[in-house]
Amino acid sequence: MLMGAFAPAPVLNAQVPVVEATLEQLTLSDKAAQLIMLWVDGSPPTSENDAYQELVRLVESRHIGGLVMSTATPQSAARKLAALQDHSRVPLLVAADFEAGTGFRLRGGTGFPTNMGMGASGSEELAYTMGRIIAEEARALGIHITFSPVVDVNDNPENPIINTRSFGSDPELVARLGAAQIRGSQDHGLLATAKHFPGHGNTKTDSHLALPVIDKDWTELSSVELKPFRAAIEAGVEVVMSAHIALPGLHRMGGGDLRPATMLPEVLTGILRDSLGFQGLVVTDALDMGGVVAGYGPAEAAVQAFLAGSDILLMPTDPMQAIDAIVHAVQEGRISMTRLDRSVRRILTLKDRLGLFANPLVPLAAVDSVFGRESSKEATALAGARALVLVKDSDAVLDSLQARKRHLAIVTYGEANAESIGRTLAAELERRGFSPRQFALARGSVQASYDSAQRLLDSETIRLIVVSIRALESRGRLGTPEPLVSLISEASSGGQTLLVSLGSPYLLSHVPDVPGYIVGWESIPTVERALAAALSGAPITGHLPVEIPPSWPVGWGIQRGARP
């Protein structure tokens, strides 16, 4: 199993024996299939599993080129990927989306704060370490590509889909930390992906639902959105993922219609390949997303994305239609065989560099020894602590908490996994000598539940309100429910209140008068333990990587206990 740094990428026209021999054996349909990556879940690889049997059929008979691993445990993911590799005549290239560590997808994987939390730490060393741990855990499972990091510049507070997935709104910060994470992954044998090209940060539309529009000209795009991609390419990033966004400011380049960047040769070839000099693998964002499906359909979307400059067609809604469409486009002369061979050769060359032709399998017995390492736990604990940002504390809640152990009320609100929000925080505070009482609210909570939460808050002089509102795909917006705003406002007027965001930092814009505000970025146990430590007197050293309207600029952060 390859775990070291990659050798320099070979020139594409070099004659690599195993690559050329494999390419010669592939039929036209096989070549088209090598472009396809399909989603695979973590269910058992058994004969009774219809979805798995369909995957086996596509791998065996259509010779699909790659897979995208979804939610699973490490052991189940490793077993399923090994089984599918056994069925494949050409080794499969396997990817997964590990934006916040392998714990982002794998139950039992190492989880980190979101990228924006890493941005709050400002630490390239932590970003590199995060990339390294992702690589070590991913490669132990037989995964070769991480679809991370997100290097979009989130300069729109209303962005409903990027938000805390970005390192921040400062292009230089995003470039530094993105490049560091890329080096951490690729130095340890995992291909990293810079996404979403040419930049998805300044949108108000979720591309899972519709086509977002970024109305910037070339000068604006080059000075903000493209900076992190330049840094990623300079760092040697192996993969770039396209964005399903429209760029009317570049219409003179794209022919005048509102087409997504994924379908524009002027963007993926003209800008990415020719202007920025990227020579690696270009992968589309998922082709089952509303930003492309509505306008093109599964067959034409595949052809247009390939013509634009993509090498890998990610998760088309109908993979067989996509394969057949590429075949027909070659037969009709829309796609040249030279162009198809160029992408297939690029894919096969990466498989060869990863050592997959020699041995596509990994030792399953080693999985447990890689996951759960103490060094990984220490790294994510440090990241969680350094991500915390104290934005406000006008009522001196932290001083009151730290003066003596206190009774306190904790009300939590979560849009997803609401029952787990604040659980680790409360337990850790109790372990530290506090006496917390907790009430949980969820996205569907009725007014009677809010009334109960209000009564709990009224019963204590120190109140913590812990909220997890974050970007969720296919929801289409970020918003704070009005009953929650009222609850926070009422609590703020009646006692020492500290609002904690374990999600979007922009929550403060909806309740700017709350006396205390801490951003923790993500509702994972690591962050909640760090928060409990901070409430008990541990240093708080993070700085905002974004502006929070109306009053808190990039770089703001009240420092407590920080070393001079």
DSSP 286: P
Q: Which amino acid is present at 6? A: F
Which helix (H) or strand (E) segment holds residue 494: the answer is: helix 482-494
Comparing CA positions, the residue from 469, 473, 463, 441 lying closest to residue 535 is: 463
Comparing CA positions, the residue from 387, 390, 385, 384 lying closest to residue 552 is: 390
Backbone torsion region of residue 134, taken as left when φ is above 0, otherwise alpha when ψ lies between -120 and 50, otherwise beta: alpha
Comparing CA positions, the residue from 132, 66, 68, 70 lying closest to residue 105 is: 70
How many Cα atoms sit within 13 Å of 109 on the Cβ side? 33
Within 8 A by CB and 6+ apart from 473, the residues are 161, 206, 208
Helix axes 50-61, 74-87, angle to 10 degrees: 40
Within 8 A by CB and 6+ apart from 275, the residues are none
Which helix (H) or strand (E) segment holds residue 407: the answer is: strand 407-414
Continuous H helices in 35-162: 50-61, 74-87, 115-121, 124-140
97 in active site: no
Comparing CA positions, the residue from 186, 170, 179 lying closest to residue 124 is: 179
Comparing CA positions, the residue from 111, 23, 95 lying closest to residue 63 is: 23
Look up residue 433 and give its two tokens. Answer: 């000598």
CB atoms near residue 334 (< 10 Å): 15
Beta-sheet pairing, 389-393 with 516-519: antiparallel
Annotated catalytic residue, options 97, 206, 285, 393:
285
Q: What residues form DSSP beta bridges with 193?
A: 239
**Residues annotated as catalytic (active site), given as ranges:** 285
